[in-house]
Amino acid sequence: MREIDCSYGEGGGQLLRTSVVLAAITGLSVHVYNIRAKRSNPGLAPQHLTAVKAVAALCSAQTEGVEIKSQEIIFRPGPLRGGEYDFPVGTAGSVTLVLQAALPAAMACGEKLRMSISGGTDVRAAPPLDYFRYVLLPLVYSMGARAKVEVLLRGYYPRGGGKVVVDVEPCLPLRPLILNTSEGLEGITGFAHISNLPRHIVHRMANAALAELSTFPTPAVGLEVFGKDEAVGEGGAVLLTAHKEHSRLGASAVAERGVRAERLGAEAGKRLREEILSGATLDIHAADQVLIYLALASGESCFLTRELSSHAATTIWLLEQFLPVRFQVTQEAHLIRVHATPEFNSRSSFLWR
C-alpha cells in the first residue's frame, strides 16, 4: 500500500484525485492522509468526494473514510471495467475536476465506457469546460487518446446543474508528446459565452479580450448566449486559444458576480499574449494537467513552459511514487523544459491490465 501525505508540496485536492487514479490504474492500494490540510476548509469537499467515488466505481474499489470533510481515506482498487456510469457532484462543484480524475482511469479500463457527470461546468478555481475540451483534449488526442465530450447543459455557482456526457475507448499506452520548439503562430481563436444574462455582456467580454490580442493577425472570438433550456443559472466564460503546428496555448476566465466583463476578457487576453510571446509550447495550466498522460506514454516526452507551478511540481513528485517514470526539469533561458521518461518494460505491463 502506498502512503501519500497530502500536505506535501502544494497540498491541494489534486494530490488526492491523482492518488486514487494512479491506484486504479496500477492496482496498488493507497492510504491518503492530511487531505487538503493546508486549506482553510480541510478535508473532502463535494467535488473531491465525487471524484473519488467516480474512480472507485470504475474499479469497484473498497474504500474507507470517503465522506465530506474526511482528511484520511483508504482506497483498495479492483479491476477496471467499462460500461455506463453516472457521477453527480450535487452542487456547483467542478465537472472538469471530476473529469480530470476519471478520464485517465477510463482510458486504462480496456473497454468502452460512458460517463455522465453533473455539476458546475464553468466555476472559479477550476478549468472551464471549454479549456478542457479545446486545449487539453486535443493535446491528449495527439497522443492517441479516444474520448468525446458532449455538453448537455451548462451549470454555474451556486446551483450547478450542468451535465456532460463523456465517451471513452481504450487507448493505453499513449504515444509520447514531443514539443521541443515553439513553431510559428497559425492563428488565434476563441469562444465566449453567457447564460441567462443580457447579450451585451458577452460582447464586452470578447471585445476586451480581442483588444489585448490586437497585435496578432486576425484573432476571432465566437459568441454564444444560452437560455434556460441550455443552462442552469447565470454565468459565463471566455476561452482563447493560440494554434501552432503541433500544439496550442490556452487562456480562460470565468464570469464572477461583481466583476466587470471587460476585466475578465482583458485578463484572458493578457495571459494568452504572455504565453505566445514567451515561446512556450504548453501554457502553464496545460503543463500541469498533461503530466499524468506523459507518465502513461510508451516513450519519452518533452515540452517547454514559461512557468512550472507548485501544483505541477507536486504532481511530478506523486507520479514518481506510483509509476516507473522519471521527470527532469531544467531551465533554458527564460523557459523551463520538462522531460518525462517512462521506464516501461515487460514487467510493467500490469499498468495496462
In a domain, 350, yes or no: no
Q: What is the C-alpha to C-alpha distance for residues 58 and 54, in angstroms, rounded to an integer?
A: 6
Q: What is the C-alpha to C-alpha distance for residues 164 and 226, in angstroms, rounded to an integer?
A: 16
| Cell numbers that stand for 98 in this block | 471530476
Q: Which of 254, 278, 302 is the last residue of a domain?
A: 278
Residues 6 or more apart whose CB falls under 8 angstroms from that of 19 comprise: 2, 4, 6, 30, 32, 75, 318, 322
209 is in an annotated binding site: no
What is the domain range of residue 246? 185-278
Catalytic residue chosen out of the listed positions 31, 48, 193, 311: 311
Question: By the 8 A CB rule, do 4 and 318 touch?
Answer: yes
54 is in an annotated binding site: no
Greatest Cα pair distance in the chain? 59
285 is in an annotated binding site: yes
Do 144 and 58 fall into the same domain? Answer: yes
Please tell me the total count of domains within the chain: 2
287 is in an annotated binding site: yes
Task: Return the CA Rg of the chain.
Answer: 20
Q: Which of 278, 297, 320 is the last residue of a domain?
A: 278
334 is catalytic: no
Do 209 and 157 fall into the same domain? Answer: no
In a domain, 352, yes or no: no
pTM attached to this predicted model: 0.94
Q: Averaged in consecutive runs of 10 residues, what is the pLDDT profile of the chain (353 residues)?
A: 88 88 96 88 87 95 95 96 92 88 94 95 92 96 95 92 96 94 87 96 96 88 95 96 91 94 97 95 96 96 95 94 96 95 60 49
pLDDT score of 347: 40
Do 215 and 202 fall into the same domain? Answer: yes
In a domain, 148, yes or no: yes
Do 197 and 260 fall into the same domain? Answer: yes
Number of H helices, E strands in the chain: 10, 16
pLDDT score of 351: 54
328 is in an annotated binding site: no
pLDDT score of 353: 45
Do 159 and 293 fall into the same domain? Answer: yes
